A = this chain, B = another copy of it.
Amino acid sequence: MSRLKGKVVIAQGGGPTAVINQSLVGAVIESRKFPEVTRVWGAAHGVRGILEEKFVDLSEATTHNLELVARTPSSALGSTRDKPDAAYCGKIFEVFKKHDVHYFFYIGGNDSADTVRIVNENAAREGYDLRSIHIPKTIDNDLPVTDHCPGYPSAALFVACAFSGVNADNFSLPGVYIGVVMGRYAGWLTAAAALARKHDDDGPHLIYVPERQFSIDRYLADIDRIYRRHGRCIVALSEGVWATRDTRGRAVPLAADLMRKAGREPQVDAHGHVQLSGGALADELADAVQQSLKIKRVRSDTFGYLQRSYPGVVSNVDAREAREVGEKAAHYACWHNIDGSVVILRVGDYAVRYDLAGLEEIAAKVRYLPDEYINPEGNGVTEAFRSYLQPLLGDAVPYMERLWAPAATLINTAGERR
């Protein structure tokens, strides 16, 4: 154990989650206990704050402030969509050297893990002692190795609650409802909609994820079948569903297709991701149902940004684990003097332990919904998926009750029953 003397820099990257501040606070409070940690600096807006040397001294944040921040959704330090290349990572490392930073904790998804990996390689090349830990977070749940990603369970709870409410709404005013859920490449969050079901006829009745090619004809046939059976139909669908491939064989998101058809060029971010937000996909899919199936009441929503930082809709399991992966980052770096990405391993049903994976195992990789979680028809999820997700949602899953009362015995004024 080297008991490396120096500063900690911690930052938050990518899209916020409801519990990302738990990880921040876990890492900060735990780091502050180590005498070899001279200061704990927080970088404003992720790696960009490191580059611009915009730091706050979290050694001087009160514990009370930190504890309240932990319970507040979104990234308290600010975030960034910057995806550093080798030169950017080189500059980060220069800033670290300049300020005696010997511990780097970056809370983020697979792109953030990649940044940590490259910065760490810079340090290793120069023989500079830098402990670099990636702390996982993403509502997409698409990191490999870890059983699940902090942030996902709370977003999944939001989606399950939303569909529970939508199902009750649609039960009361029947029709077709289409809810578009975040998820560009992986359907984890959309699949969570299944946890809204309790009764046989509860929605969502159909779930479409980007792991399967989408067909508008099958979609319409599916809805038609459900609507005939139940007089209503609720659909959960990932924003990233795709029906066609481009000339290079890459899936083209249906949302981008629709935007181009409407004469708009979709925006592309620094990571090369096409921007999928906006309501066009939901509107078009609702229109298709109305026009093809002649169903009158068809409604759709795009859940949008509410999914990832809605205050109060937080899984207590998620909050605890997010805190702990933050704490473990400090432990692995300070007690064990090693680099890597903190992962959650499921042991038993349900319990977890934490471990450290190699950065190269996580960086820039995507984990899709495995085949055993998607039904053979490609329009729903399996019991295995429900068993996977259920314990992650904690104890806040709402109980949706229906009225149970006998049909009234109708007797007319002449005393006749019917």
Q: Which residues of A contact B (CB under 8 A)?
A: 12, 15-16, 39, 41-42, 45, 53-58, 60-62, 65-66, 68-69, 71-81, 97-100, 161-162, 164-166, 168-169, 171-173, 177, 262, 264, 277-280, 282-283, 286-287, 299-306, 308-313, 396, 398-413
Contact of A401 among B71, B404, B411 (CB under 8 A): B71
Say whether A42 contacts B172, CB under 8 Å. no
Collect the chain B residues with CB atoms within 8 Å of residue A73's CB. Answer: 165, 168-169
- When chains A and B are docked, how far (Å) is the Cα of A181 from the Cα of B306? 13
Contacts known (A69-B402, A309-B166, A396-B312); A74 close to B278, Cβ less than 8 A: no
Is there contact, CB below 8 Å, between B401 and A60? no
Q: Is the CB of A309 within 8 A of B68?
A: no
CB-CB < 8 A to A166: which residues of B?
305-306, 309
Given A165-B310, A304-B301, A309-B165, A62-B172 contact (CB < 8 Å): no
Q: Is B58 a contact partner of A173 (Cβ separation < 8 A)?
A: no
User: Given A299-B277, A306-B166, A398-B312, do A410 and B53 touch, yes or no (CB 8 Å)?
Assistant: yes
Given contacts A57-B405, A66-B403, 9 further A-B contacts (CB under 8 A): A58-B405, A62-B404, A71-B399, A71-B401, A73-B168, A74-B171, A76-B402, A99-B412, A306-B306
Residue in B72, B98, B299, B401 whose beta carbon sits within 8 Å of that of A399 in the complex: B72
* Residues of B with C-beta under 8 A to A80: 173
Contact A79 B172 (CB under 8 A): yes
Residue from B62, B79, B306 within 8 A of A173 (CB atoms): B79
Chain B residues near A280 (CB-CB < 8 A): 279-280, 283
Q: Do A279 and B302 have beta carbons less than 8 Å apart?
A: yes
Contact A277 B306 (CB under 8 A): no
For A54, the chain B residues whose CB sits under 8 A away are: 407
12 inter-chain pairs at a CB distance below 8 angstroms, sorted by A residue, are A15-B173, A16-B172, A42-B403, A68-B399, A73-B169, A79-B173, A80-B173, A99-B411, A161-B312, A165-B311, A279-B279, A301-B304
A184 to chain B, nearest CB (A): 15
Minimum CB–CB distance from A47 to chain B (whole Å) comes to 14
Contacting pair B72 A408 (CB below 8 A): no
Residues on B with C-beta less than 8 A from A262 are 262
Closest to A408 in B: B55
User: What's the nearest-Cβ distance from chain B to residue A307, in Å?
Assistant: 9
Expressed in whole angstroms, the minimum distance between the Cβ of A213 and any Cβ of chain B is 24
Alpha-carbon separation in the docked complex, A76 to B403 (Å): 6
* Cα A359 to Cα B205 with chains together (Å): 41
Q: Which residues on B sit within 8 Å (CB–CB) of A396?
A: 312
Q: What residue in chain B is nearest A281 (Cβ atoms)?
A: B279
Closest Cβ–Cβ distance, residue A385 to chain B (whole Å): 21
A241 to chain B, nearest CB (A): 16
Set B81, B98, B172, B403: member contacting A412, Cβ < 8 A: B98
A305 to B264, CA, bound (A): 27
